[in-house]
Amino acid sequence: MLILYLSANSIQFRQAVQQVTRDFNWENAMRAIFISYRREDAEGQAGRLFHDLVANFGDGSVFMDVAGIEPGRDFRRAIDEQVATCGVLLALIGTNWLDANDGSGRRRLDDPMDFVRLETASALKRDIPVIPVLVRGASMPRVEVLPEDLKELAFRNAVELTHARWDSDVQVLVKALRPHVQAKTEPTGLHPPSAQSEPSPTRTGPSRIIIAVLGSVLVLALVGYLWHQKSSEEAARVVEQTESVDLPIAQRTGEENTIPSASVEAASASTAVPQPERVGLSSTVAASGTLGSVVVLGTGDDLYYIYDASGEKQLGYERTGNARELFPGNYLVEVSGVKRPVTVRPGQQSAVQ
């Protein structure tokens, strides 16, 4: 009966579909984490991080590997589409990430068709948060050794994951990711792709969106069916109930897709800090108070370099006079060959002469 009604009222059906798809917040519904890595460089760390992030954000919120590209399809476009469904990309950088070679001896990053380069460049082009994740004692690559479309990566704030402090390091990363990721349902045993098998599709976000849209369309169609089957008095009551119940639900759903909760909005407003000239993460993280920043006072094109507290691992660098966002902690800042200690506190900027 319902199918016959929809066929006889195709105009109303199309209008209902258009209304649902127009009001649905596609961008927020598809936000997720994409892990980019080289198998021979950081496969073990990528798999471990995958499980930890799924435990925190739920199934369907974490993607890794280019999944299910059909034979004959342009893999560049496929990578673009898959990265486009994510709200943040984690670039796992191990000791072989920069200098890994192909069979001919050419550096893979110099190949425009390199999957890791395509994934990272696509995310940088979209200007979403791209977080370098240093593993196996790796250091941040310098800007001059990166391809043109990856040079911006050198100015993104890095996070280090160590074997000894893995759990605490992951929690710092999870805290920084929360403003960018819409939490899904609790995990149900999702596993990352195996190194010996072909990548398998794990992206369930779009499927859930389609189900939600179809469900909304069926609800609208059912309301229309009841409208035409009842008397004018009964139809008026259906309209009144729809306006008093269904419309607030639709409006409330739209609000939830845009703003996770009123408390988050209030917290962001009360803890907002000035936006640095160059940032490693988005303003949402800075506003949440989870980051501080450091700046070397002065002008010109000179660079200053940022190291961990031991001075052994370089985490990044910035131009003199530009602020650099960092997670709270102790660091060394190298200016003109001299390393100076600096402490970064949440929501505060530390200046170095």
Residue 277 has pLDDT above 70, yes or no: no
314-340 per-position pLDDT tens digit: 888 888 888 888 888 899 999 888 899
Residue 225 has pLDDT above 60, yes or no: yes
Per-residue pLDDT at 149: 94
Residue 297 has pLDDT above 80, yes or no: yes
pTM for the model: 0.48
Domain range summary for the chain, segments of one domain joined by +: 2-20+208-258, 31-198, 271-352
Per-residue pLDDT at 130: 94
The confidence band for 6, taking pLDDT boundaries of 50, 70 and 90, is very low
φ and ψ of 309, to 5 deg: -60, -30
For the residues 41-58, what does the mean pLDDT come to? 92
164 vs 73: which has the higher pLDDT: 164
For the residues 91-115, what does the mean pLDDT come to? 91
Residue 33 has pLDDT above 80, yes or no: yes
Per-residue pLDDT at 26: 43
| End-to-end CA separation in angstroms for the chain | 77
Residue 22: Cβ within 10 Å count: 7
The two beta strands, 323-326 and 62-64, are unpaired
The CATH T-level fold of domain 271-352 is Immunoglobulin-like (2.60.40)
Q: CA 134, CA 158: separation in Å to the nearest integer?
A: 7
Residue 13: Cβ within 10 Å count: 17
When mean pLDDT is compared across 24-33, 61-70, 133-142, 327-336, the lowest value belongs to 24-33
Per-residue pLDDT at 18: 56
The rounded mean pLDDT for the chain is 73
Contacts 24+ apart (CB under 8 A), 342-347: 342/294, 344/292, 344/293, 344/294, 345/292, 346/289, 346/290, 346/291, 346/292, 347/271, 347/273, 347/289, 347/291, 347/292
Residue 279 has pLDDT above 90, yes or no: no
For residue 45, give both structure tokens: 């760390």
The confidence band for 158, taking pLDDT boundaries of 50, 70 and 90, is very high
Domain 31-198 sits in which CATH superfamily? Toll/interleukin-1 receptor homology (TIR) domain (3.40.50.10140)
257-272 per-position pLDDT tens digit: 444 444 434 444 444 4
Residue 7 has pLDDT above 90, yes or no: no
φ and ψ of 213, to 5 deg: -65, -45
Residue 68 has pLDDT above 90, yes or no: no
> Please, which residues have CB within 8 angstroms of residue 100's CB and are 6 or more apart in sequence?
38, 40, 41, 107, 108, 109
For the residues 3-16, what does the mean pLDDT come to? 50
185-222 per-position pLDDT tens digit: 444 444 444 443 334 344 444 445 566 667 776 777 67
When mean pLDDT is compared across 4-8, 195-199, 215-219, 347-351, the lowest value belongs to 195-199
Percent of the chain, pLDDT > 70? 61
23 vs 275: which has the higher pLDDT: 23
> Please, which residues have CB within 8 angstroms of residue 266's CB and are 6 or more apart in sequence?
none
Per-residue pLDDT at 82: 77
For residue 1, give both structure tokens: 């009966």
Q: Do domains 31-198 and 271-352 have the same CATH topology?
A: no
Residue 285 has pLDDT above 80, yes or no: no
What are the DSSP E strand ranges found in the chain?
A: 33-36, 62-64, 88-93, 130-134, 159-160, 292-296, 303-308, 314-319, 323-326, 329-335, 338-344, 349-352
Question: 163: helix, coil or strand?
Answer: coil
Per-residue pLDDT at 14: 54
The one-letter amino acid at 64: M
Q: CA 51, CA 48: separation in Å to the nearest integer?
A: 5
Q: What is the CA angle 308-311-317, rounded to 5?
A: 65
> Please, which residues have CB within 8 angstroms of residue 285's CB and are 6 or more apart in sequence?
129, 176, 179, 180, 291, 325
